Amino acid sequence: MPSSQTTLLAGRYRVLRRLGSGGMATVVLCHDERLGREVAVKRLHAHSPEDMEKRFAREARLGASLNHPNLVSIFDTAIDDEGVLIVMEYVDGESLSQALRRGPLEPRRAGAIAAGLGAALDHAHAQGVVHRDVKPANVLLRGDGVAKLADLGIATAAGQTRITRSDIVLGTAAYMAPEQLDGEEAGPAADVYALAAVLFEALTGAKARSGRTPLEIAHSIATEPPPDLRDHLPGAAPAAADLLKRGLARSPGARPRSAGELGSGLRDALERPAERTAPTRRVAAAAPSRRSTAAPLLVALAAAAVLVAAGVALVAGGGGEESPAPETRAQQPRTVTERETVTAPAPAPAPAPAPAATGSGLNARGFELMQAGRYEEAVPVLQQAVESWPEDSQDIEYAYALFNLGASLSRSGNPEAAIPYLEKRLTWNDQRKAVEKELKEARKQAGKA
């Protein structure tokens, strides 16, 4: 990967500096000479140009098909003499793995991250996409506090082939679900497990499962119950501890029904004092599996066979590759599944306030209102967000705010006012299908189809 500041990638992206690299890719910070903005450009490490092109094209299509504020935003793909590039939004901040080197996160911050990542994974799962590599290195924390999930590079999509070669199991062992370690197909429940592992570490600074090798981690999963948050964080709400134990359950069916249920549930539990938190029902499925008494050892041995015979690309302890990069804004309200409780569930709290009254903060606040279906309330907040940028701004956050305002106007009964905002959003090349769909609906409702 070129590193000189005079280097132009694809004749357009001027390399400024390297952001990170790992076993799969190298990411550099570039200046887009055409649009005058900073972007992250990623090049995959592959065994052949043909392999590289196929895998990158798949990753770009997956990224472009998803549109969510806590997911990576793919702007462009390009081909040069060295292969295929993916151009993504640059996130000015740090990864969760870097943040955790300073110690665990404050519970409210961890809760906000949990809700955002859970909603992002629900959005991906609804589109048939399973991430398969949720870990702290792939969680990017922007300066204003927004968390974004990066790197769908080893994702799978329903009905489509895997991006990765079929003879390699990819992931980071400390965050991989038991079914992944067993070599089975990973579904949305595997992402729920990984999210629970990431959140446990965010709150405690300790990995939920640790070991010197992937085999030791697999053996721990097979023979030991999930850890209890309260052993590391005394005074933690029982509901929070219970949710994480369920999320780390050996059986996929014992885990929360969705990543959003886990994330929003954990946020709610962490925001309320422990003594006032409604306890969640202990689920029997979180107990040891109904397999035979020999099953735990067989699971560990099976994992060893998969890991050794397949030439596993695993990182035993954690960190994995650092691949800082990008992200998105979305518009569809998140479906919140009701948590089972012994007592009546507490009323859902109002969306958390934005970190700051900046354009980005206002847009985040407006989006939270949209997720709650409160479109009329979102409109004035998003109008303030849009007005905080100059009309010729190339900031991608401005583009997100334009879309969110247009969508909120349309869904609150004012589609004609939504049209100019959505039309302006189309001047950006990313997420065009989602914007065109929203614009078409607004025009139809306004009688201008």
Calpha distance 73→60 (Å, rounded) = 10
How many C-beta atoms lie closer than 10 Å to residue 157's C-beta?
18
- Cα 337 to chain centroid distance, Å, stands at 19
Sign of CA dihedral 275, 354, 341, 178: negative
Beta bridge partners of 140: 95, 148
Give yes or no for a contact between 203 and 278, defined as CB atoms under 8 angstroms apart. Answer: no
Strand 129-130 to 139-142 pairing: unpaired
Name the amino acid, one letter, at 316: A
Tokens of 293: 């008494």
Among 116, 138, 139, 127, smallest CA distance to 61 is for 127
- Assess whether 133 carries a catalytic annotation: yes
Catalytic option among 32, 76, 122, 133: 133
Strand-by-strand arrangement of the 13-21 sheet: 8-9, 13-21, 25-32, 37-44, 83-89, 74-80
Question: Phi/psi of residue 240, each to 5°?
Answer: -65, -45
Calpha distance 129→441 (Å, rounded) = 25
H or E stretch covering 369: helix 359-371
Which residues belong to the active site?
Answer: 133
